[in-house]
Amino acid sequence: MKKGDIILCSAICVFSALLALLFLTFKNNGKTLIVKVDNKPLYEYSLGTDREIELEHNTAVIKDGEVYMLEADCKNQICVRTGKISKRGECIVCLPNRVILEIK
């Protein structure tokens, strides 16, 4: 191996280590809301940004790092009554409309 190759190799190593570190930090701090309809992941939103998500039958809200179902046209309203979720792995399910809000 030439000297240049070694430098290049270690540069790549450092770069990928940094990338992995960045990815891990992002993973720990940034939570993501996955919106699934018909069991297919349709949208992904960061919980860091407040927003309203209008779906065909449901309206979900991201506020202060929490997610809740604001409105739904389903009969049982279980999804609306689920309240706020903010932890990884938690989810709000609207069975009649086949909508799942999941935090990753």
Binding site for Zn ion (CB under 5 A): 72, 74, 79, 94
* DSSP codes, 2-21: -HHHHHHHHHHHHHHHHHHH
Residue 46 Cβ vs Zn ion, minimum distance, rounded to whole Å: 24
Residue 64 Cβ vs Zn ion, minimum distance, rounded to whole Å: 22
Question: 35 vs 79, which CB is nearer to Zn ion?
Answer: 79
Question: 35 vs 72, which CB is nearer to Zn ion?
Answer: 72
CA dihedral 56, 97, 40, 102 (to 10 degrees): 100
